[in-house]
Chains A and B, each alone.
Chain A
Amino acid sequence: MTTKIDTGTRRSGVRHGRRMLVAAAGAALTLASVTACGGGSGGGKVADGFTQAPQGGGKLTVWVDSTRLAAAQLYQKEHPAVKLDIVTYDGDANGSNYLQTKVSLFNRTGSGWPDVVFSSQNNEATWAVSAGFAAPLDKGLVDPGVLSGFAPGANTPCTVDGTVYCLRNDLSQTVLWYNAPLMKQWGYSVPTTWEQYQQLGEKVATEHPGYLVGSVGDSYAPEVYMWASKCGANQVTGAKAVTVNTTSDACTKMATLLDTLIKDGTMSKSSVFSSDFDKNDAAKVLMMPGPAWYGSAVFQGTFKTPSGQITASPMPQWEGDSSPSVGNVGGGTWLLSAHSKDLKDATDFLTWVSTSDDYQGKVSPGYPAYMPAAKTWLAQQGASGYYAGDPAPALQAAAGQAWLGWGYPQYSQEAIWAATMTPQITAGKTIASQLPAWQTAIANYAKADGYQVTTQ
Chain B
Amino acid sequence: MTSSPPQNARASAALANRRAVWPGRAGHGFVAAYVVLLVAFGVVPTVYAIYFAFTDSGNQFAGLSNFISVASDFRFLPAIGHVAVYLVCWLASLVVFVVGLTLLLHRVASQGVSRALRFVYYIPGALAGAASVMVWLFMLDPTVSPIGFLLRAMGFDTFGQVVAPGNMPILLTMIAFWTGAGGWIVVMYGALNNISPEIIEAARIDGAGPWQIARRIQIPLLRKWIVYMVVLAFAGGTQLFVEPQLLSQASNGVAGRDYSLNQLSYDFAFQNNNVNTAAAISVELLLVGLCVAGVFVARSGFFDAD
Contact = CB atoms under 8 A, between A and B. Distances in A.
B110 interface: no
Nearest to B138: A275
Contacts of A270: 158, 160
A349 B253 CA distance: 32
A104 B275 CA distance: 10
A322 interface: no
B254 A4 contact: no
B206 interface: no
B257 A419 contact: yes
A105 to B, nearest CB: 8
A426 B75 contact: no
A219 B47 contact: no
A336 B267 CA distance: 24
A419 B51 CA distance: 33
Interface string B238-270: 000000000001011111110000000011011
Interface stretch (A94-102, A152-160, A313-321): A94-102
B271 A100 contact: yes
B273 A426 contact: no
Interface stretch (B140-148, B184-192, B214-222): B140-148
B160 to A, nearest CB: 5
Contacts of A94: 249, 252-253
B304 interface: no
Interface in B84-101: none
B159 A274 contact: yes
Given A275-B144, A414-B253, A422-B254, A12 B59 contact: yes
A418 interface: yes
Contacts of B142: 276
Interface in A45-104: 90, 94-97, 100-101, 104
Interface in B149-170: 157-161, 164-165
Contacts of A275: 141, 143-144, 159
Given A4-B43, A426-B164, A444 B74 contact: yes
B80 interface: no
B73 interface: yes
The bracket for how many chain B residues form the interface is 35 or more
B160 A426 contact: yes
A271 B73 contact: no
Given A8-B47, A8-B48, A104-B269, A274 B254 contact: no
A390 interface: no
A100 B160 contact: no
Interface string A1-38: 10011001100110010000000000000000000010
B257 A415 contact: yes
B127 interface: no
Contacts of B158: 269-270, 274, 276, 426
A217 interface: yes
Contact of A273 (B58, B73, B252, B255): B252
B288 interface: no
A218 interface: yes
A13 B175 CA distance: 43
Contacts of A423: 160, 164-165, 254
A398 to B, nearest CB: 24
Given A101-B270, A275-B141, A219 B252 contact: yes
A95 B144 CA distance: 26
Contacts of B252: 94, 218-219, 271, 273, 418
Contact of B253 (A4, A16, A104, A219): A219
A418 B160 CA distance: 10
B254 A419 contact: yes
Contacts of A184: none
A217 B160 contact: yes
Interface string A256-300: 000000000000011101111011100000000000000000000
A417 B252 CA distance: 10
B273 A131 contact: yes
Contacts of B157: 276
Interface in B112-162: 141-144, 157-161
* A-B pairs with lowest CB-CB distance, top 7: A418-B253, A419-B256, A101-B270, A275-B143, A276-B143, A444-B74, A276-B158
Interface of A: 1, 4-5, 8-9, 12-13, 16, 37, 90, 94-97, 100-101, 104-105, 127, 131, 217-219, 269-271, 273-276, 278-280, 414-415, 417-419, 422-423, 426-427, 444, 447-450
